[in-house]
Amino acid sequence: MTQLQKEIQDQVRLPAKVALDVVLQGIKIRLGRSLVTIMGVVLGIAFLMSILAGQLAKEGVSHESDLRAEVGRMMNFLTAEAGPLNERVVGVVQVGPLSEAENRFVKAILAQRPKVQWATVGGNAKIPAELAGAVQAVAVDQVGKEATAVVVAGDGPAPAVDWTAILANARQKVVGLARGTAAPTSAPAAEMESNSSTSSSASASSDAPAYTTVNLSRQPRPEETAAALKEATKNRFRSTWIITIALAVTVIGITNSMLMSVTERFREIGTMKCLGALSSFIRQIFLIESSLVGLVGGVAGTIFGTLFALAIYGFTYGFLLVLGSINWGLLGASAVGSVVVALVLSVIAAIYPARFASRMVPAMALRTNI
């Protein structure tokens, strides 16, 4: 009995390099199945990484996104009241330096190819250099001539001028407030109350033509903000659920592939055991194979998912903006985390097939005809 124990203890333990060579040889022989398994990991990790990279890109371009949303709202409010601006006349009264949103708003108006009549009021008001060639400078009393709408923009209150006279020859008597300043008043002050959904009419006298003011920079109402937060929470939950399902399918795919690999290698496993391979060596083979699958699939999936997310946001907001605003440290950490997740899930998926293979009786394995 002592001699038998000594012989068992003296069994040769093959190094990990031998197990790695066996794994690489097996991957070459079953290359098609290995590629299918790797693609399962690639798709699962690519989906995970695209979500993570997309969130980082979205945070990076949040300022740009907010600006575009604000300009879009301003254009919607103006066109809802004044109608299409194509080939029409639009007046702009600048009362101070333009904000970035106002500058883009004016450019959005110019994109519809109207004739823009621009008047400046106050010492701080100056036509932006990039707009000087696209607008016609006029006196403030001429800004409303044939105009579909007159927009008051700039850092300052609406000028207390005779708006009734200014808008007397306008096509439509609409005054849009780009910065939510106080409603403009005519020479005899008229009380006006304006917002995005309701407009107020003011006149200098009972027989003077009325004009309508529209607040173009209305902030979302509390119920709208609450609805947006609720929708964001639902989207996060939905994304988490989809990611979980994708990773679970990846694990199942790897497990199924490993079990099929065990089934195909019954005689090979039995032969190695008959030649003295320990059960730990058999387990090592399958765990190394799953680790390679996870590593290769994780790296490829991380690269593909990152490039996909950056391309989507790059085409939407511009690649320079996206690449310059994204947090590369968090992106790198997310990439490393995704590769680790792929590696861990692959090893977990291979534990049962590896144990199943290591517990096989050599005689039973050799009798298999698969």
Q: Which two tokens stand for residue 342?
A: 């792929």
The residues facing 136 across adjacent strands are 117
Long-range contacts for 215-222 (Cβ within 8 Å, ≥24 apart)? Answer: 215/77, 215/177, 215/180, 216/73, 216/74, 216/77, 216/78, 216/105, 216/151, 216/176, 216/177, 216/178, 216/180, 217/70, 217/73, 217/74, 217/101, 217/177, 217/178, 217/179, 217/180, 218/73, 218/77, 218/180
pLDDT at residue number 296: 92
DSSP assignment of 108-142: HHHTT--EEEEEE-STT----GGGTTTSEE--GGG
What is the predicted pLDDT for the residue at 11?
59
For residue 235, the model assigns a pLDDT of 81
Which pLDDT belongs to residue 89?
A: 92
Question: pLDDT tens per residue, the chain (370 residues)?
Answer: 455 555 555 555 767 777 788 788 877 877 787 888 888 888 889 988 998 999 899 888 888 888 888 888 889 888 888 888 888 999 999 888 888 888 899 999 998 888 999 988 877 778 888 888 888 888 888 888 899 999 988 887 777 788 888 888 888 888 888 876 555 655 443 333 333 333 444 433 444 447 788 888 776 677 877 887 888 888 888 888 888 887 888 788 778 877 777 777 777 777 887 877 788 888 888 888 888 988 999 999 999 999 999 999 999 888 988 888 889 999 999 999 999 998 998 888 888 888 888 887 776 766 665 5
Domain boundaries defined on the chain = 15-64+222-366, 89-170+181-215
Give residue for tokens 């990773």. 247
pLDDT at 185 (0 to 100):
57
CA distances from 56 to 65, 101, 233, 313 (A): 13, 23, 17, 10
* Sign of the alpha-carbon torsion through 326, 328, 330, 332: positive
Cα–Cα distance between 70 and 180 in angstroms, integer? 13
**Distance separating the N- and C-terminal Cα atoms of the chain:** 38
User: Would you state the pLDDT for residue 205?
Assistant: 42
- Measured over the CA atoms of residue 283, residue 284, residue 288 and residue 294, the dihedral's sign is positive
Given a contact cutoff of 8 angstroms between Cβ atoms, the answer to whether 93 and 151 are in contact is yes
**Structure tokens that stand for 128 in this block:** 């932006």
- Phi and psi at 134, nearest 5°, equal -105, -5
- Pairing relationship of beta strands 89-94 and 136-137 according to DSSP bridges: unpaired
Query: What strand order describes the sheet that includes 174-177?
Result: 136-137, 115-120, 89-94, 149-153, 174-177, 211-215, 200-202
pLDDT at 209: 44
